[in-house]
Each structure stands twice: as structure tokens, then as C-alpha cells.
Amino acid sequence: MTLPLLAYKSLHSRSVTTALTIFSIALSVFLLAGVDRVRQGMQTGFEGTLSHVDLLVGARAGSLPLLLYSVFHIGTGANDISYASYEHFRDHPAVKWTIPFSLGDSYRGYRVVATDDNFYDHYQYRGGQSIRLEQGVRAEGIFDAVLGSDVAKSLGLTMGQKLILTHGIEGSFLEHKENPYTVVGILAPTSTPVDHAIYITLYGEEAMHIGWEHGAPPLEPVPAAQIRKEDLHPTQISAFLLATKSRISTLRLQREIDEYKQEPLTAVIPAVALEDLWSVLNYADVALSLVSAAVLVVGLLAMLTAIYTALNERRHEMAILRSIGLHRRQIFGLFVLESAFVSAAGVILGISALYLVLLAGHGVIEQRFGIPLALVGLSARVEVYIVIIIFAGACLGLLPGIRAYRNALTDGLTSR
């Protein structure tokens, strides 16, 4: 009878304690790997806020403020860039398409983004998903507005409703009362900042600000009926996204934009900037991981306690094993094998449970929280955890092993 079989049968005979111990380790593994999975999902989701975009271009500023303002709609932009500069790069031979963004107005706390058809045609997130209209049509008319799904949901807005936009972002009392906008479309949820904004046309934004050249409402507003698209010429935008015809030209184009003589501009590679931003936000993950690690330590200690308390009942067993000539190494080995079995079983159970939960719940989690918990293999981090848990479990078996051996020495061959 080999030692593994002895260890297995011994554990099996104490099935309730063994099952409880395995369960407590499985629970900690579940938490640890689950937190890791959620972190990965969040990171994937976050870094997938923009995809297939090679450069983000705005006025000369740091890459993070530019990203936060123009993509996440957080904070205020430094400066606008001239429409002429935008046109220059829009028509650049290396450029495939551009999406202009002009920000500056809001509606009940949600940012209003003026853009054009390219937004609906080219904006992609999470590796190639395009934005989609759930209801209605794109904003084409001067006073048309399309709502992000979250805006529609939380403000309870429906198709055809009129919106009076606020001039400026927060805490502003100046309203564009003279020109209400009409909801013509609502976007499908994307779980990205797109959901939290209202989209109008660049013309619309121009029209709204006729007579506002000094930052205050005009004394004699121009009636909406008299405003015609042909008379409106955007002069400034906040930023634009850009895709190159060939990825190889990205870096060259980035330098060209950074060194553009007519106007100080900044071009940022979104993937790099998103990664930078994520590393700033990542501290929450450290806290979560610490908590799960603490749970794991508790689980392993529970196993140690279980094996240790069984020691006294097992003194006869140890005396018998010594009498048939088991070495001290083999007595150690028995305990190490037992704890290694328990931790390995705990790991297998915990990981399987996690996969079952992900399999059953990833759709719901993705929809409700916008975390894409893709069903891929174990991340390298979880693999490291698994090795550490099984190794630590086996090492913990040494403690009762030493104790059992000491007992065996003092007991000699008395089986009483």
C-alpha cells in the first residue's frame, strides 16, 4: 500500500471534516480567482472603451487630461482646436477616417457631444463592436439629439421629447432656451462612456451658440426656423479620433501632429493612455486581492487546525505505522500528502465553481455591470496562486507531521 493511498483513505475516513476543509479552501480560491477574473474583465472593458482608433488628437495638453475629457467626459478641456487644423488632418493622405468631438454643453449633468456621421459609422469599442441605435435615427437635423442608453434610462427620456440644454458643464444657469432639441434616437447600451452622453451635430452646436460669442445669451435670439445648415460653419472642435490607412504610419503621423506649426496639438495613442489610466485606478484591485489573500490564509489555517486536532485520535494509528516499520520521512510524507490532497481538491473545486458561476452568470454581469467576463483560460496570476496554495498547503502538513513524529517517539510502540 503506497503512502498516497493511505493518505487518501485516511482523509476519506474523516469525510465530514475533510469535506468542510476542502470547502473552506475552495471558497477562498473562488474568491481569489473571482476577484482576479473581475479585475481582468474590468481592465478589458476599460481598455476596450475605444478600439481601432490609432490616435486621439486635441489641443496641447497632457495625454491623461485629453483622454479623460474627450473620451470619458470628465473634467474640462484646456483649449479647443481650430476646425481648419481638423480639416487638415482629416484630409491627410495617411488618414482613413476621423471622428470630431466638440464638447461644452450639458443636459442635467450629462455631457452633450457634437459630432458627425463618422461617429455612427466608425466608433468602435471592445475589439470591433460598433455603436448601434436601439430606437430612432441618427441626429441629422440641426436640433436633433441622440441619447446614450444610460441618459435615456436614468432621466426617463423617450423619443420626441424636447431638451433644453445648459450652456457650460456644471453649475451653469445659462440655458439655451431659445432652441430646444428633439430626441430622434436612443443608442443601444455599450457599457462605455458613450452611454452617458447626448449626441448632436456639429451644426447643431453652432446653431445653438449663434449670438453667444461673448459667452452670454443673445439679446435677440434668431428664430430656429431661420437657421439653415448652409449658413453654419463650425470653427472649433474639442478633439478628434483618427484611424490611419496603415498602422505603420501611426507613429510618423503622431510626430507630425505634435510638431504641427499652425497650432499646438497633442496626439495620443489611446491604448497607451488607457493603460496608463488603468494603472492609476488599479489600487482597488490591490485592496480586493489583499482581502481574498486573507480569506485564503484563514482557509489554510482551518485545514491546519483540522489536521492538528485529529492528531490525538490518530496516536494509535501512528504507533501501528511505526511498528510495521514506517520511517519518520514516511510519517511526514503521510501528513504532507494529506494536506496537499486537501488543498489541491480545494483548488479544483474552487476553480470549477468559479467557471460554473461565470458560465451561468457572465451574460447578466456583462449587461448589468458592463464587465466583460470573457470565458478564457486561467490568467497567469491565478496559475501562480494555484501553485502557491498547493505548495503552502503541503508545507502546512509538515507541522502536524513533526508533531506526530514527536508523539510517536514519546509513545514508542504503546498503542493506548
Partner 1 sequence: MDVEQEHTTATTPALEMHGVVFGYEPGRPVLHISDFRVEPSHRVFLFGPSGSGKTTLLGLITGVLRPQSGTCKVLGKDLTNLSASAMDEYRGSEMGYIFQSFNLIPYLSVRENIELPCRVHSRRKERIVSASLDAEAVRIARRLEMDSFLDRDVRKLSAGQQQRVAIARAVIGRPKLVIADEPTSSLDADRRERFLELLFEVCEEANATLIFVSHDRSLAARFDQQISIAEISDTVGLPEA
The nearer residue to partner 1, 252 or 316, going by C-beta atoms, is 316
Site for partner 1 in 352-411 (CB under 8 A): 409
Phi and psi, residue 95, nearest 5°: -95, 135
Grid cell locating 35: 476577484
- Kindly state the smallest distance separating residue 327's Cβ from partner 1, in Å: 5
Whose Cβ is closer to partner 1: residue 132's or residue 316's?
Answer: 316
Residues 138-167, mask of contacts with partner 1 (x by CB under 8 A): ------------------------------
Please, which residue, 6 or 197, has the CB nearer to partner 1?
6
Q: How far is the CB of 342 from partner 1 (least distance, A)?
A: 15
In three-state secondary structure terms, 139 is coil
Considering only 228, 327, 368, 406, the residue that binds partner 1 (CB under 8 A) is 327
What's the rounded Cα separation, in Å, for the pair 274 and 32?
A: 25
From 177, 228, 316, 368, residue interacting with partner 1 (rule: CB under 8 A): 316
| Alpha carbons 334 and 328: distance in angstroms, whole number | 10
Q: Angle of helix 3-13 relative to helix 15-47, nearest 10 degrees?
A: 100
Question: Contact 184/177 with Cβ under 8 angstroms?
Answer: no
Q: Minimum distance between the CB of residue 318 and partner 1, rounded to whole angstroms?
A: 10
Distance CA 400, CA 393 (A): 12
Q: Which residues in the 242-281 window bind partner 1 by CB under 8 A?
A: none
- Chain positions 12 to 31 lying near partner 1, rule: CB under 8 A, are 12-13
Q: Measured from the CB of residue 398, what is the shortest distance to partner 1 in angstroms? A: 18
Asked if 416 is part of the footprint of partner 1 (rule: CB under 8 A), the reply reads yes
Contacts with 97 (C-beta within 8 Å, 6 or more apart), sequence order:
118, 121, 122, 242, 243
In terms of Cβ atoms closer than 10 Å to its own Cβ (0-12, 13-18, 19+), residue 369 is middle
Region near partner 1 per CB under 8 A, out of 201-209, 217-225, 323-331, 390-398: 323-331
Distance (Å, rounded) from C-alpha 251 to C-alpha 89?
14
Tell me which residues touch partner 1 (CB under 8 A): 1-2, 6, 9-10, 12-13, 316-317, 319-329, 409, 412-416
